[in-house]
Amino acid sequence: MKKPAEGRIIINEAGRGLWPILAEIFGQSFDEPWPLASIKNLMAPTGCWALIAEFANDEILYPCGFALARAVGEEAELLSMGVIPEFRRRGVASSIMRALASQALHRGARAIFLEVGVDNFPAKHLYRMSGYVEVGRRENYYRRANRELVDALVMKVVL
């Protein structure tokens, strides 16, 4: 896709009708197919919701980012997020993180937790820039495509 030079970032909640688009964005963000059924499974527990980011340019909306989250009681969790490569480094993920914080607060959460691979430098930067701090580490939590096991950092932001 040829990316537009300039535009506005719009973040909205994504109801079920938009989940096929989220599956597409997910697949492009992580460079692996992500079936709609997996999104349905992830979103099945109570308290889950999804966000979609669009890049708006000259009346055209480009769906380019997503987040899946869950809020139960005073704790929320970022389950997954991503931005398709052509739209990175334009503040899309930062906008998603701000919307996520405001929506989690609105749902009664007082903190958001997430896990990120120790080798995922862009995401670690993003989360630190968004106010998250490390509160734990899970050993050998992710298995990468090359079969290597990678630790996850647990990060938290107080809302």
Residues within the interface to ligand COA (CB under 6 A)? 29-30, 81-83, 88-94, 116, 120-123, 125-126, 129
Nearer to ligand COA, 71 or 78 (CB): 78
Tokens of 131: 């106010």
Nearest approach, Cβ of residue 44 and ligand COA (Å): 20
Contact 59, 49 (CB under 8 A): no
Contact 133, 104 (CB under 8 A): no
Nearer to ligand COA, 79 or 159 (CB): 79
- 47 to each of 43, 69, 99, how far by Cα in Å? 8, 8, 16
Name the 3-class secondary structure at 126: helix
Residue 2: what residue type? K
Give the whole-angstrom CA distance, residue 20 versus residue 3. 21
Nearest approach, Cβ of residue 47 and ligand COA (Å): 20
Give the whole-angstrom CA distance, residue 14 versus residue 49. 8
Nearest approach, Cβ of residue 43 and ligand COA (Å): 17
Nearest approach, Cβ of residue 107 and ligand COA (Å): 21
Nearer to ligand COA, 31 or 108 (CB): 31
Nearer to ligand COA, 15 or 121 (CB): 121
